[in-house]
Amino acid sequence: MSIRRVFSFGGGVQSVACLVLAAQGRIDFDTFLFANVGEDSEDPRTLDYFRQYAKPYADAHGLRLEELHRTRRDGSTETIYGRLTREDSRSIGIPVRMANGAPGRRSCTLDFKIKVVGKWLKQHGASAVAPAVVGIGISVDEIQRANSHRSEPYEQITYPLLDLGLRRIDCHRVIRSAGLPVPPKSSCWFCPYRRPETWREMRRTAPDLFAKSCQLEGLLNERRDMLGKDHVYLTRFAKPLDQAIPDGWDTLPFDDWDADGLCDSGRCFT
C-alpha cells in the first residue's frame, strides 16, 4: 500500500491538536506515526496519554495512529536509554551540556525519530521521486523551529498549524473542545533540553524518575572519567542535576531560558 500523507506524531500538545483537527476534517491527514523512542525513555506521562486518550480517540474517528520503534537487524528493539546505558557504549548521542553550557552533538532525534518514521515511509512507497507529505506540529509561537529545508529526500515537510495560524494556546482549546485533557509536553524524561521548571516539577512529583536522571548523568560522567574527558550535564548550569535543581527550589530565576531549549527539528516536544 502506498501512503502519501502522514503526520509525525510526537505525543504532545501540538500533535494531539492536529489529531483532533484531522478528525474534524480541518487538515488532510488520516495516518499519524508515533516513533516511540523506548518504554524506558519516553516520559511515562506521554505514553500514558497516548494509550489512554490519543489512540482511542484516533480509533473512534477512523484515523490511523501507529506506534513505531527502532529495530536492530536481528529484530530486537533499541531504545535511547538502552543505548546510553549499554556497557560498551562510549558515545552519548543526546544534547548533554558541556562545561561551558553549550549543548553537545546529538543523534537521538535522527536515529530514533526521523529514521524510524523514514523507514516506515519508504516501506510504504515514499522515495525521492515520489516523496510523502509529512506533517509536523509546530505552532505559530514556535515558528522559528520550522525547518523545511532539512527535509529528507523521501519527504516533503508541511506545517498545518502554521497554515491555520494556530498558537500553542489555540491548540489547548482545540483539544479541550474534543473533550480530551491537554497532554503534557512530550520528550524523553532525561532530555537535556528540558527547562529548569520542568526538572523542578519532576523532582517534586516524580522523585524516583528524578533520581534515575541523576544516576544516568553520573553514569555518563563515570565513563568520561575513564576516557579522560570533561564532565557533561543534563542542565546548562555546569553542575550535577541534584545541585542544579535543588530540593525545595521555590524561585525560578531561569524561567525565561528557552533560546535553545527545544529541538528545532519539530520531531520532539510536539
How do residues 219-230 score in pLDDT, each as one tens digit? 999 999 999 999
Cell numbers 537535556 correspond to 192
The domain covering 5-244 belongs, at the CATH homologous superfamily level, to HUPs (3.40.50.620)
Residue 56: pLDDT over 50: yes
Nearest to 27 by CA among 37, 16, 35, 36: 16
**Crossing angle of helices 168-177 and 13-23, rounded to 10°:** 50
End-to-end CA distance of the chain: 28
Mean pLDDT value of segment 161-172:
97
C-beta separation of 52 from 210 below 8 A: no
Domain ranges of the chain: 5-244
For residue 157, the cross-strand partners are 134
Residue 241: per-residue pLDDT: 97
Three-state SS at 155: strand
Looking at residue 188, its pLDDT comes to 96
User: Hey, which of 56-60, 96-100, 194-198 has the most confident mean pLDDT?
Assistant: 56-60
Query: Residue 135 phi/psi, 5° resolution?
Result: -85, 140
The CA-atom distances, in angstroms, between 10 and each of 32, 113, 159, 259 are: 10, 9, 14, 21
Is 109:250 a contact under the CB 8 Å cutoff? no
pLDDT in tens, 99-151: 887 888 889 999 999 999 999 999 999 999 999 999 999 999 988 888 655 77
pLDDT score of 145:
81
Predicted pLDDT at 255:
45
